[in-house]
Amino acid sequence: MIKFTKMHGNGNDFILIDEYHGKVVEDKDKPGFAATYCDRRFGIGADGVLFLGGSDRADIRMRLFQPDGSEAEMCGNGIRCLVRYAIDEGYVTGTSTIETLAGVLTVGPDGEWIRVNMGKPAYNGIEHLDGYEVYSTNTGVPHAIIFVEDLDFVISEIAPGIRYAPVFPEGANVNFVRIENDHEITIRTYERGVEAETLSCGTGAVASAYVAHRLGKTCDRVVVHTAGGCLRVLLGADGVAFMEGGAVRVYDGAVEV
């Protein structure tokens, strides 16, 4: 039996496996485990599997495997869930450091929410793809940002061509962004690895707020509306971005393997 905890950040949901005290799923089996148990009909159902482990570089370590078996470098909603669990279990208290494939990030509670120092987003220029002006950036994972007036469309008909475009050799999450005013935006995100729209994307929220601010469309404090709820993004004068949002522990369970 493998114990797990189901968690979500704004509806972006995860299976969390606690490996703080030792390996539970062998590394070679992690991609297959994610592919099997992320299935919403034949498995537990999730947008990804978080593995919480110890680290010699930080307080704890996060690894995220997605439904297609790939490993993501970072996940904004996932890291908040991981920290909420780690606080609940007493592995960390207050501000802590998390090792990810995108580097070591500083995370801590902010009231009921979790605040993440996302580092400095990388801006990679503008591309013209499938008739859209696409802004390329990286907030731990690569993102394509597209500004639109109307968010009422079938995202699965548009996003894959951009997600797989040759200019994104590692693929990209595709974010469609509507500016509401100078301190609010609404986004929809198609996530690589999930290969579908998710209810929220933390790194996508930061990437969208960053590009919107860079273009002078918004101020440095932005509320990002997603289908699953709101996130707050603060863009510091030094270029560092902070993300704030909730993380919910839904239930604990176990599966036979």
> Mean of the per-residue pLDDT values for the chain?
97
User: In terms of domains, do 188 and 142 share one?
Assistant: yes
Q: Which of 38, 81, 201, 230 is catalytic?
A: 201
Task: Decide if 112 is inside a domain.
Answer: no
Give the whole-angstrom CA distance, residue 139 versus residue 234: 14
Q: Write down the pTM of the prediction.
A: 0.94
User: In terms of domains, do 230 and 251 share one?
Assistant: no
Share of the chain above pLDDT 70, in %: 100
pLDDT tens per residue, range 49-105: 999 999 999 999 999 999 999 999 999 999 999 999 999 999 999 899 999 999 999
Q: Which of 75, 81, 219, 230 is catalytic?
A: 75
Active site residue 201: yes
Which tokens belong to 125? 């220029």
pLDDT of residue 111: 85
What is the distance of C-alpha 183 from the center of its chain? 21
User: In terms of domains, do 189 and 157 share one?
Assistant: yes
Task: Decide if 167 is inside a domain.
Answer: yes
Domain count, the chain: 2
Active site residue 230: no
pLDDT of residue 127: 94
Q: Is the pLDDT of residue 242 over 90?
A: yes
User: In terms of domains, do 18 and 84 share one?
Assistant: yes
Average pLDDT score over residue span 1-6: 97
User: In terms of domains, do 201 and 96 share one?
Assistant: no
Task: Decide if 114 is inside a domain.
Answer: no
pLDDT tens per residue, range 39-64: 999 999 999 999 999 999 999 999 99
Place of tokens 């987003």: 121
Give the whole-angstrom CA distance, residue 233 versus residue 242: 6
